[in-house]
Amino acid sequence: MPTRTTYLLLLALLLLACNGRGSKKEYTYHQEQGEIFHTGFHIKYAYSRSLKEEIMAELERFDRSLNPFRDNSVITRVNRNEPVELDSFFLNVFRKSEEISRQTGGKFDITVSPLINAWGFGFQNMDSVTPEIIDSLKQFVGYEKIRINPKGKIVKSDPRITLNTSAIAKGYACDVVGDLLERYGIEHYMVEIGGEITAKGVNDKGECWRIGVDKPIDDASGMQHELQMILSLCDKSLATSGNYRNFYLKNGKKYAHTIDPQSGYPSQLDILGATVIADDCMTADAFATAFMAMGMERSKEVAQLIPGLHYLFIFEMPDGSFGTVCSDGFEQFIAN
């Protein structure tokens, strides 16, 4: 899946008002932060004590299921065609991936890793990739070539098919932690893992959770940051994909580092970055990735069919500058 970057800055402590959430209440908020899945996380929630130990244990269980670089994880054993009992984490993410693959006409696909590996990070192998290599790899790429049968077992049309859920797993991990917190009766929390966010209730100021979105700036260093808008999330999730600060040039035009799982080649489309808001973070995460390979017009069409889904796209203008376009209703999430 495409190289991902976080161009959202978490601003949970900003003293800004949020409409529709009533007066401020008093809560005891705890904040946890650290690193998981080779990325950082920040979690804030209202409860009587710290749940850091329970949160880390849940993330560890998640990692044992869906980390393809962990030798004995469920997904690794699936990739090696070994007998393995599929747990709820694997089943949930697999079925959601299937659903979104169908909804996007195959532009979201968790079997795409062989193509990504062939092109290399940042397309560093571009000069050595041939049509013959792509055709060979496409024989075992395609979401329709792997399924779960009625007995709960993986069935592959080709044993070389492998899965990598990196384009959906961070979002799902946010949902998993949110579910854990809700099992403790927690109504107010924000979970951020690697830039993907799920938020429920209000923050410690009694306001919706605040997320800052960077202005598109043609700055490959990534050092310049200027806020374009502040989003206000109550009972919603948010994910991003793409990197308008890190693109490749072809014939003078910018393209995001995205592989089209159907063609096997880099997507030469118009979206450089996508911010997606949805009812759950797994959905937001997957669609943010899919939109990068679908292009502006097709993404708009598909987004209209998904209840509760909103987007903000970054694209290149004819003069080389950056522009943005958002879905109808996206303005409801812009903080006053």
pLDDT tens across the length of the chain (336 residues): 444 433 343 333 332 333 334 444 456 999 999 988 888 999 999 999 999 999 999 999 999 999 999 999 999 999 999 999 999 999 999 999 999 999 999 999 999 999 989 988 766 777 888 999 999 999 999 999 999 999 999 999 999 999 999 999 999 999 999 999 999 999 999 999 998 999 999 999 999 999 887 665 554 444 555 666 799 999 999 999 876 555 566 666 656 678 889 999 887 778 888 999 999 999 999 999 999 889 899 999 999 999 999 999 988 888 877 888 999 999 999 987
Residue 2: CB atoms within 10 A of its CB come to 21
pTM of structure:
0.86
Relative to beta strand 227-233, strand 29-36 is unpaired
Q: Residue for token digits 């900003």?
A: 14
Q: Taken in order 295, 268, 6, 287, is the CA torsion positive or negative?
A: positive
Q: Do residues 322 and 315 make contact, with C-beta atoms less than 8 angstroms apart? A: yes
Q: Do residues 216 and 259 make contact, with C-beta atoms less than 8 angstroms apart? A: no
Token code pair at residue 110: 């968790």
Q: How far apart are CA 118 and CA 105, in angstroms?
A: 23
3-state SS, one letter per residue, for the chain? CCCCCCCEEECCCCCCCCCCCCCCCCCCEEEEEEEECCEEEEEEEECCCCCHHHHHHHHHHHHHHHCCCCCCCHHHHHHCCCCCCCCHHHHHHHHHHHHHHHHCCCCCCCCCHHHHHHHCHHHCCHHHCCHHHHHHHHHHCCHHHEEECCCCCEEECCCCCCCCCHHHHHHHHHHHHHHHHHHCCCCCEEEEECCEEEEECCCCCCCCEEEEEECCCCCCCCCCCCEEEEEEECCEEEEEEECCCCCEEECCEEECCCECCCCCCECCCCEEEEEEEECCHHHHHHHHHHHHHHCHHHHHHHHCCCCCCEEEEEEECCCCCEEEEECCCHHHHECC
Token code pair at residue 281: 């973070």
